[in-house]
Structure 1
Amino acid sequence: MNVKSWAFAALAASVVLGATGCGSSSTPQAATRTPIPSAAPATPGTPGNAPGPAQPGEADQPTNSPQTRPNAPEVDTAPPASVPVDQREPAPAPPPPPANPSPYGSGHGLCFDLNSELAHTSVGRLAPNAGGYPWTIVEGSTDPISAGCSGVLSYLLVDWNGSHPGYHVLFFTDGKYLGTATSKYYGYTTMLGKTRNTVSVQYRWAKPEDALCCPSGGPSNVTFTLNGSSVTAQGQFPPNPDK
């Protein structure tokens, strides 16, 4: 090796040693660490865990709160509206009408009761008799209510208690007074019988030569039939008692 090469090598070695010495003699730098938030409670008014400033665009992101969740169903927490309720019990249903309704003037299980107000009122409508005697009820029909009263012809027989009595036959149906069998009263009148809508009456009369006890005229039977609200007669009536 020549002198120039050796000098160049020595110079390079001195540069390396100088650089190494400077690095080892300098003061070591202190290590740094990331501070950890204290677990101590924060000062009032300054929450320790307050979120930092929002990053750009962060305010526009939806949160996970149920109240603001876009797809969460709404829950109605309001109490239901009260509905007025009628606390009264329902009125009982009216009883069904009886199968055989009893008409006005009925009583004692009969379609027509001779003791009824209808009977006495109708008798009071009769014209006075020749002797001025009061009319007296003798008998009446006995059709039972249980058999039904619709379309039934009822009767009432009355007389006056004079020396020579006279009789009237009164007719009724469905609680109504229809009138007398004849316009004039007759003596010697007998009720023969009846059906549901008919009444049969037998008449006798005294001839001029007869005693009042023993009439020889007749007998004549007359059948009265109910047709709706009127009565028709079939048979022979006695002679006019006024002649």
Structure 2
Amino acid sequence: MNVKLSAVVTIAASVMVGVAGCGGDSQPSTGTSTGSAITTSHPVPTATRTTAAGTPSASVEEPAPGGTSKPESSSAETTPESTSKSESPAAEPAPEGSGHGLCFDVNSALAASSVARLDTPPGGAWVIQGASEDPIAAGCSGVLSWMTVEWPGIHPGTHILFFTGGKYLGTASAKPYAYTTVLGKTRDTVSVQYRWPKPEDALCCPQGGPSTVTFTLNGTTVQANGQFPPN
């Protein structure tokens, strides 16, 4: 009886050892992976990364099947410019008598011909003393230009000639005056100061005036406003 019981125990022990031997290659999990990362052939869906601050970063493009990326498409159509650049207006032609970048040039034929129309002065000839300097770049339409001429001498008389649009308009006064000064101008006006000697004054020191006369362009005529010297 004891022999049979011992044999059964021995057989049971052998079975237990055999079962344990079949599972000897498996090890219990330790919670740490030692193998390669798992890869997949499935495309990764398009997503938007979010930074730590919660703001979206660049979008990740979804790869197309076969490992190539899909071409980026755009809903915006390429169209010609909606508005074309406006063409610059044609430059205003420079008037006759212009030159050196000015609407009126004292070296022009217009200046010479205008002086030739004046009565011969006591000194024998008129001498150009100065002129306005209106730039062509600012446009010459509606500009009143001036030029001063004098006869030689200690106390010369002065004529002021006016021009616009390449035309000579005439002199500021019927006769020349001494002690005449152009004070300034705007686009269509010229301001002139006159002085004159009183009967008791020496010619060097006139006490009459000063008086300022403003000449204003009105079309192709000039209107004067102010007091001229007495005759």
TM range (shorter): 0.5 to 0.7
Does 2:85 align with 1:99? no
Work out which of the residue numbers 119, 136, 149 in structure 2 matches 1:127: 119
Q: Counterpart in 2 of 1:152?
A: 143
Over aligned residues, Cα RMSD in angstroms?
Answer: 1.3
The letter of the residue matching 2:189 is T
Does 2:106 align with 1:114? yes
The alignment covers a number of residue pairs equal to 144
Work out which of the residue numbers 181, 185, 201 in structure 2 matches 1:190: 181
Q: Counterpart in 2 of 1:163?
A: 154
The letter of the residue matching 1:219 is P
Work out which of the residue numbers 132, 137, 149 in structure 2 matches 1:141: 132
Work out which of the residue numbers 192, 202, 213 in structure 2 matches 1:211: 202
Work out which of the residue numbers 180, 183, 195 in structure 1 matches 2:171: 180
Residues 123 and 152 in structure 2, CA contact (< 8 A), matched pair in contact too: no
Whole-Å separation in 2 of the counterparts to 1:226 and 1:209: 37
Residues 133 and 162 in structure 1, CA contact (< 8 A), matched pair in contact too: no
Matched-pair identity in %: 69
Q: Which stretches in structure 2 are left out of the alignment for 5+ residues?
A: 1-87
Q: Which runs of 4+ in 1 moved over 2 A?
A: none
TM-score by length of 2: 0.61
Deviations 1:164-205 (A, max 9, x none): 210000000000000000001000000100000000000000
Q: Partner of 1:127: helix, strand, or coil?
A: coil
Whole-Å separation in 1 of the counterparts to 2:184 and 2:154: 27
The letter of the residue matching 2:96 is Y
Whole-Å separation in 2 of the counterparts to 1:125 and 1:237: 23
Larger proportion of strand? 2
Whole-Å separation in 2 of the counterparts to 1:133 and 1:237: 25
Work out which of the residue numbers 213, 218, 230 in structure 2 matches 1:222: 213
The letter of the residue matching 1:100 is E
Whole-Å separation in 2 of the counterparts to 1:114 and 1:170: 11
Q: Which stretches in structure 1 are left out of the alignment for 5+ residues?
A: 1-95
Deviations 1:136-174 (A, max 9, x none): 000001000000000000000000012321000000000
The letter of the residue matching 1:123 is V
The letter of the residue matching 1:234 is N
Deviations 1:91-117 (A, max 9, x none): xxxxx9842210000000000001111
Whole-Å separation in 2 of the counterparts to 1:188 and 1:181: 14
Within a 5 Å distance, the mapping from 1:46-85 to structure 2 comes to none
The letter of the residue matching 1:194 is K
Q: Partner of 1:122: helix, strand, or coil?
A: helix
Structure 1 residue 211: deviation in Å?
1.0
The letter of the residue matching 2:220 is S
TM-score by length of 1: 0.58
